[in-house]
Structure 1
Amino acid sequence: MENIWSSEIDSILSVGRTLDSVGVRNWALEREAALAALEQLSAIKVAVLGGDVYAVNGANVESNYDNWYCNRDGGEADADFVERSIAKARSYITNYRANAGSVLFAIVPSVVLK
């Protein structure tokens, strides 16, 4: 199977629900799984560029058009960007108001695609 991000990142995010049905090559995770994924991405020093929120409607998922992003500041060191981007993603996901199981979070890691 072809990787979406990298084998290491795919193994972290693929615990979520595939978004193939909505034409997106990524996975969406429940809140606790998304927060755990952020910790794992932080441990391997991968920044998060942002993410999208998906509404769960029975067996279907669909974008609800909520999202967040984090741009690298000019001259910002790699380690600082990783830390700041993870903190921003963690804050967004933690503070997102929704009933348990009603939304999923798709995380967009900062990686060089080949």
Structure 2
Amino acid sequence: MVMSKEETKERVMAELEKVIDPELGVDIVNLGLIYDVKLDEEDNATVVMTLTSMGCPLAGTIVNDIKMALTELQEFKEIGKVDVDIVWSPTWDKSMMSRYAKLALGVHE
């Protein structure tokens, strides 16, 4: 069964919810760090994301964790190659977090 691009993106996002920010202990999706998942014609995936700060010492760890989380989708040929594109615009702030992440981290608005 061939999935639509939208279904594939949803599967990728579900897998990315398993990637936990090592400093904050909340997944990168609920933290609002994932801006987009782009799929090309061959279903190669580019995860467009940011980090909570430019000097994040764990950037490499998070990128590796993303690639590991998506390995199963690659094995089942749901996606091809995985790239991670770290961007700084728009700048991340606490308002991008989900309600769950705000509750988990005790963030009050």
TM-score normalised according to structure 1 size = 0.28
**Greater strand percent: which structure?**
1
TM-score normalised according to structure 2 size = 0.29
